[in-house]
Amino acid sequence: MVDVTPEQFAAQLTRGWRRFGPVYFRPACRACTSCESIRLASATFAPSRSQRRARRNAAHLIREVGVPIVDDERLALYGRWHAHRESHRGWDESPIDAERYRLEFAFEHPCVREVAFRDPELNDRLVGLGIVDEVPDALSAVYFFWDPDYAPASLGVAHIVWLAEDARVRGLGYVYLGYKVDGCPSLAYKGRYEPHELLEGRPGSGVPASWRPTAEPTSPSGPIGDSASSEAES
């Protein structure tokens, strides 16, 4: 779907909908509530020590935000990242070509942005790439992949911290992280970003969405960019 305006998509995000390529979706399992929609309020998000450490580790990178691009460099980066997931997490193989990449990661949409990370110490090598949707009041983290051999530790964590910083500076209220699933290692990590908000139920069109805030974080935190210990990659 390409006829959804940023304002219409913003309303969908508040009700737990997500976008990947041309597809809009949200959980539909009636007997299961494991998938919880999660978002950060940019004004209150306080990165943990390990999240600030991740941001510091990536401070030397060049961060470029623009329209998604399809080229051999990006296809190769995705291939290296997915092969690493296959060997370390048992993921199925997922070969990708330019046509599929364009459909899933570079689909022409009024909200889509690409966040590319380049390392100037490695001849501007592309070491990480995020796909982000931007609506009038929020950013939505869609996907992120990185180079397992060259990216700094926890670059995916730094990416989220950067998005929260971007949203706050620009006056955008939220950063949507998709779905948190406590029993899935690939999705449970989202609960480490605190404080966060969880959507109550699955409100329909025209029904006010209610987001439940979590308690303030108990671990010490400080300004974005401070040094701290390491954290698992997202």
Per residue in 93-140, pLDDT (tens digit) is 989 999 999 999 999 999 999 999 999 999 999 999 999 999 999 999
DSSP one-letter code for 119: E
pLDDT for position 231: 30
**175 inside domain:** yes
Residue 30 inside a domain? The answer is: yes
pLDDT per position as a tens digit, 133-170: 999 999 999 999 999 999 999 999 999 999 999 999 99
Q: What is the pLDDT of residue 216?
A: 58
Q: How far apart are CA 97 and CA 17, in angstroms?
A: 27
Task: Name the domain count of the chain.
Answer: 1
Q: In this structure, are strands 18-20 and 23-25 parallel, antiparallel, or unpaired?
A: antiparallel
Give the distance from CA 178 to its chain's centroid: 8
Sign of the torsion formed by the C-alpha atoms of 109, 113, 11 and 189 = positive
Residue 82 pLDDT greater than 70, yes or no = yes
pLDDT higher for 136 or 189? 136
pLDDT at 30: 81
Overall average pLDDT of the 207-218 stretch? 80
pLDDT at 28 over 90: no
Q: Which residue has the higher pLDDT, 31 or 193?
A: 193
CA separation, residue 42 to residues 59, 68, 167, 171 (Å)? 20, 24, 6, 8
Q: What does the alpha-carbon distance between residue 185 and residue 203 come to, in Å, rounded to a whole number?
A: 27
Q: Is the pLDDT of residue 218 over 70?
A: no
pLDDT at 31: 83
pLDDT above 70 coverage of the chain, percent: 91
Where is average pLDDT lowest: 22-26, 75-79, 110-114, 220-224? 220-224
Residue 84 within a domain: yes
User: What is the rounded CA–CA span in Å between residue 109 and residue 78?
Assistant: 21
User: What mean pLDDT comes out for the span 171-186?
Assistant: 92
Is 187 inside any structural domain? Answer: yes
| Mean pLDDT score, 8-17 | 96
For residue 225, tell me if it sits in a domain: no
pLDDT of residue 29: 85
On whether residue 221 sits in a domain, the answer given is: no
Residue with tokens 């296959």: 86
pLDDT at 186 over 90: no
Residue 222 domain flag: no
What is the pLDDT at residue 184?
A: 86
Q: Is residue 45 part of a domain?
A: yes
Residue 215's pLDDT is: 67
Domain that holds residue 86: 6-213
* Residue-level pLDDT at 221: 41
User: Is pLDDT above 60 for 223?
Assistant: no
Whole-number percent of the chain with pLDDT over 90 = 79
Helix/strand/coil for 40: strand
In CATH, what number is assigned to the domain containing residue 58? Answer: 3.40.630.30
Q: Is the dihedral of CA 17, 11, 178, 204 positive or negative?
A: negative
